[in-house]
């Protein structure tokens, strides 16, 4: 469970200001979308998620649960029920080369000072990967104890398993970690760690937008230039969205599928909604089921 929490913030949420400005007046603002047409005999669904939140803020809307009930299979970014994938995840948080060996003495001293604000130090984290460092940001930004943290996808997964749904993943842990590595190397993670309180403020704004199902604003907040530059957006969102959009048609053709992905993957020029529409599917927001 700890590893799932660690991954959560790295995969949060997402269009350019002009795109959002043009679309905010539309009705296309929902965390749940129906995919139909283009030869599908049954509709599939895409749910935008907020990976980590405190139990006091946690809610899965009834329409989301109904869509999951109507679907034959549950598809997450990563299949957390695959033991092999979980083994890979454990290994990804360790590194063969110590963090201190990747930095100059001055940089190592700076990182040690930064880590003090996160209740640890470089000596304790030296054998950890930069992804493990990045996970510290989310844990500090979440305003509640770990015992009160809820993981959106895991709650959906438990429901799917209870109802004996088939469970699949859109990508492998190694693929996801490769994307994170491209986006945030050690130096970039150090810059992110320095943000501190700014992350908490941004995360709270994101949560507020998510609870209102305002995925347009959610997308804009995630693309704050302090969090993500163009290259990072390509690695974390665009490239992965395109890969998923290539895999989804075959999944939906075989059986009705419920896809749960971070809310940032829905909107924008290279978002899931636009990519699937370009393939000929009818993709529409769901207000109720």
pLDDT per position as a tens digit, 27-69:
578 999 999 999 999 999 999 999 888 999 999 999 999 999 9
User: Which stretch of 1-5, 56-60, 233-237, 277-281 has the lowest confidence by average pLDDT?
Assistant: 1-5
Counting residues of the chain whose pLDDT is more than 70, the rounded percentage is 91
Q: 75 to each of 39, 156, 167, 252, how far by Cα in Å?
A: 20, 10, 6, 10
The token pair that represents 241 in the structure block:
């969205």
DSSP code per residue over 223-289: T-TTT--HHHHIIIIIHHHHHHHHHHHHHHHHS-EEEEEEGGGTSSTTSHHHHHHHTT-EEEE-S--
Residue 83 burial (C-beta neighbours within 10 Å; 0-12, 13-18, 19+) = exposed
Give 18's pLDDT tier (boundaries 50, 70, 90).
very low
- Token pair for 178: 């490769």
The overall pTM is greater than 0.75: yes
- Do 179 and 231 touch, CB atoms closer than 8 A? no
Q: Is the pLDDT of residue 227 over 80?
A: no
């Amino acid at each position: 469970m700890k590893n799932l929490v660690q991954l959560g913030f790295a995969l949060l949420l997402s269009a350019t200001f002009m795109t959002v400005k043009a679309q905010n007046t539309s009705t296309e603002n929902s965390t749940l979308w129906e995919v139909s047409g283009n030869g599908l005999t049954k509709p599939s669904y895409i749910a935008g998620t907020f990976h980590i939140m405190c139990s006091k803020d946690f809610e899965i809307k009834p329409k989301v649960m109904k869509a999951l009930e109507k679907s034959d299979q549950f598809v997450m970014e990563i299949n957390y029920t695959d033991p092999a994938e979980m083994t890979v995840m454990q290994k990804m948080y360790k590194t063969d080369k110590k963090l201190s060996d990747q930095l100059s003495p001055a940089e190592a001293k700076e990182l040690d000072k930064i880590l003090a604000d996160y209740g640890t130090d470089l000596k304790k984290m030296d054998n950890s990967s930069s992804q493990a460092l990045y996970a510290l940001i989310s844990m500090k930004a979440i305003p509640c104890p770990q015992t009160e943290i809820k993981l959106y996808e895991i709650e959906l997964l438990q429901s799917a398993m209870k109802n004996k749904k088939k469970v699949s993943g859109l990508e492998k842990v190694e693929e996801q970690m490769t994307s994170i590595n491209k986006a945030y190397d050690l130096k970039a993670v150090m810059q992110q760690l320095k943000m501190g309180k700014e992350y908490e403020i941004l995360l709270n704004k994101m949560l507020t937008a998510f609870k209102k199902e305002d995925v347009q604003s959610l997308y804009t907040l995630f693309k704050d230039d302090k969090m993500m530059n163009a290259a990072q957006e390509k690695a974390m969102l665009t490239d992965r969205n395109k890969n998923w959009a290539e895999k989804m048609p075959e999944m939906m053709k075989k059986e009705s599928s419920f896809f749960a992905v971070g809310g940032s993957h829905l909107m924008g020029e290279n978002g899931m909604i636009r990519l699937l529409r370009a393939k000929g599917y009818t993709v529409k927001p769901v207000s109720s089921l």
